[in-house]
Chain A
Amino acid sequence: MFNTLTFPAISLPALALVFITSIWLLLGRDWRYLIAALSLQYVGAFLLVALSWPLEMAVVKVLTGWMAGAVLGVGVAIVPKTWQGEERFGSSGRLFRLLAAGLVTMVIISSALKITGWLPGVGLEVVLGSLTLIGNGLLNLGLTNHPFRVTLGLLTLLSGFEILYAALEVSALVAGLLAGVNLGLALVGAFLMVIPSMEATD
């Protein structure tokens, strides 16, 4: 079924990048590597968005993503104990997450062609990349209550949505507002991590 389809050359590395980094965000435990994975994920998202948007607008995605990663990184670095103390899962937890990600991937592969049919003019590579991020982002959100992971999950989910939406709508205002939403989410995520250790004021 898929061997009759052709992808733009850049899309395969981009797909691989978003797939690997979204799995990494699910399984990783060290916050430094997670931030690195998020930053790489935005490179993949940028490559997929660049298929639909002019390069100068698509670059906004990767810059915003890196800034969001930096903000989150600062938030965790200020209070590393909250992250290290509350968010632990062992090998069995990793295996469970990997299996769940496998299930999500199967669902994505089976539904991508159908969804491509609903969205005329949108390439299969865009749908695959988008659904991979949305699926794994949702999975991440469903498996955690920690603000850091919740923020990572939401940023992943939004990246997936942005890839698909970029193929449907080209607007500088939307690009700006979505960048604002991404940065806002990162700031709120960092704030959520920091506030339990802040002193109470009136």
Chain B
Amino acid sequence: MNAPFVWILTPGITAVVIFLLRRWYRSTVLVGVLLASLLALLAWVVPIGKNIDLGPWSFKLDEVLSVLGRRFLLVDGDRPMLSMVYLMAAFWFGAAYVARAGRMFVPLGLAMVALLTAALAVEPFLYAALLIEIAVLVSVPILLIPGKPIGRGVLRFIILQTMGMPFILFTDWMLTGVETSPGDMTLVMRAAGMLGLGFLFLLAIVPFHTWVPMLAKDSHPYAVSYVFIMLVWMVFLFGLGFLDRYSWLRNNERVYDLLRLAGLLMVITGGVGAAFQRHVGRILGFAVIAEIGFTLLAAGLPEGLGLVFVMVLPRVLAFGVLALALASLWNQNQDLHYANLYGIARKMPILGAGIVIAQFSLAGFPLLAGFPAKLMLWNQLAVQSGWEASVSLLGSIGLFASGLRTLAVLVTGPEDQPWKITETWQYLVLLIVGLAALVLVGLFPQWFLPSLLNGLNAFTHLTP
């Protein structure tokens, strides 16, 4: 038995099986949730590459799986990262049935996680670009709505993600040259340029970001949020892998300047864009753009890599609550334009609270989950550069303004319309738990956030 078999092949094979059995919707969701939870738990407790004694039995989980002459390698330091990834998947699958995210959501979502985990395990690790591309292709069916025309967002998503892959693969070849002659600045610049272009496409960095709000508008909010969160997070981990492996990249100050510049562009584009939208789906898309920006900003700070991991929990909680609340509205008329949402909070106040509070949390509003991590980010940014901190704050103000506008729309209705709770009990339970978590993480970050720093263990050269 080896670790790649447990965390890559097992979910991959299960995904194929439950895809074929997707007629039994509830059962497939249940299998997906249980398996993702089990894999998260195993990653938490079972060491890799060490003997494990279970009563009279003793076994060892090997680190390597060889396929066609190449290796898939998962080491003990990867366990916190694996645990986070599978916990995220379990969290999202948990409400998939209530959110009516589609019969393909859990099977293909599980396949995505398996492929993305394989991407982080493959050696040479630049082959990950191919596995990420396959994960992108696997994600497409869950973004489409049967019977609806294809939007331009999904086409741009496929095109731009596919265009990113060749750049990363060429970088692989160039980096071999850089490793042998690190003094050749022309080669270093070409390799860095190729790498940068590849990540511009993969992370939807301005000006290649347009598909994000388009896709968020046209697709089921729950499914699209999962794809955004999982794909972006895994591409970030892939990017951190580059910093970890190549010292010429890690020790170059310009790389961090570029990361912060890209982050600022994304935060301001996301914040300002969200403030002027009249479609909550598109607001979700712009919030994703801003979150990518915040993560890039964190990665560009001298002590900021830990923040990249700390930001994950607030982000997942906020997008989870926002996506679940929007899914309920989407399932009613598949249009999240403000014009269709006037007075919704009077009929469904918990759902309305979910939408608004999640947006506020993403903006970094005090006492909510997003605040502690954003505050740490702004503190570190202010030490680095005052104007960078101000610009990032402006992005947050944009997100906050969009939350206020949404609040105004949701509560505006006829004077005589009474306030009453009409949400189903499943939505009520899930939203109340989600909202409580958003507040709890905001009030007591010291209980939750420090353990996330263990994710950095997967990157030996980046660990402080």
Q: Using a CB–CB distance below 8 Å, which chain A residues touch chain B?
A: 118, 141, 145, 147, 150, 153-154, 157-158, 161, 165, 168-169, 171-174, 176-178, 180-181, 184-185, 187-188, 191-192, 195-202
Which residues in chain B, 149-196, are within 8 Å of chain A measured between CB atoms? Answer: 149-150, 152, 154-155, 158-159, 162-163, 165-166, 169-170, 172-173, 190
- Max count, chain A CB within 10 A of own CB: residue among B69, B131, B169: B169
Q: Which residue of B lies closest to A118 (CB)?
A: B190
**Contact: B152 with A177, CB < 8 Å?**
no
**Contact: B131 with A177, CB < 8 Å?**
yes
Out of B127, B144, B162, B172, which one reaches A195, CB within 8 Å? B144
Is B70 part of the binding interface, using a Cβ–Cβ cutoff of 8 Å?
yes
Beyond A147-B150, A150-B158, A202-B25, whether A172 also contacts B173 by CB under 8 A is no
Other contacts beyond A157-B163, A173-B70, A174-B130: 15, CB < 8 A:
A118-B190, A165-B166, A171-B68, A171-B70, A173-B67, A173-B69, A176-B68, A178-B130, A181-B137, A184-B133, A187-B137, A188-B137, A192-B154, A195-B145, A201-B102
Is B146 part of the binding interface, using a Cβ–Cβ cutoff of 8 Å?
yes
**Contact: B130 with A191, CB < 8 Å?**
no
Chain A nearest Cβ from B436, distance in angstroms: 28
CA distance A184 to B103 in the complex (A): 20
Is B207 part of the binding interface, using a Cβ–Cβ cutoff of 8 Å?
no
**Contact: B148 with A201, CB < 8 Å?**
no
CA distance A61 to B103 in the complex (A): 33
Chain A nearest Cβ from B274, distance in angstroms: 26
CA distance A158 to B170 in the complex (A): 13
Q: Which residue of A lies closest to B165 (CB)?
A: A181
Q: Which residue of B lies closest to A145 (CB)?
A: B152
**Contact: A191 with B67, CB < 8 Å?**
no
Hey, which chain A residues are within 8 Å of B302, CB to CB?
none
**Contact: B127 with A191, CB < 8 Å?**
no
Chain A nearest Cβ from B225, distance in angstroms: 18
**Contact: B145 with A200, CB < 8 Å?**
yes
Chain A nearest Cβ from B104, distance in angstroms: 10
**Contact: B159 with A154, CB < 8 Å?**
yes
Q: Which residue of B lies closest to A177 (CB)?
A: B130
**Contact: B150 with A196, CB < 8 Å?**
yes
Out of A145, A172, A191, which one reaches B68, CB within 8 Å? A172
CA distance A118 to B130 in the complex (A): 24
Interface flags for B128-147 (1: CB within 8 Å of A; 0: not) read: 00110110011011001111
Chain A nearest Cβ from B214, distance in angstroms: 12
**Contact: A202 with B102, CB < 8 Å?**
yes
Chain B nearest Cβ from A126, distance in angstroms: 14
CA distance A168 to B149 in the complex (A): 41
A-B contact pairs, 29 of them (CB 8 A): A141-B159, A150-B158, A161-B169, A165-B166, A165-B170, A165-B173, A168-B173, A169-B172, A169-B173, A173-B67, A173-B70, A174-B130, A176-B68, A180-B130, A181-B137, A181-B162, A181-B165, A184-B133, A184-B137, A184-B138, A185-B137, A185-B162, A192-B140, A195-B150, A196-B148, A200-B146, A200-B148, A201-B102, A202-B102
Which residues in chain B, 269-324, are within 8 Å of chain A measured between CB atoms? Answer: none
Chain B nearest Cβ from A83, distance in angstroms: 13
Out of A145, A161, A196, which one reaches B155, CB within 8 Å? A145
**Contact: B134 with A177, CB < 8 Å?**
yes
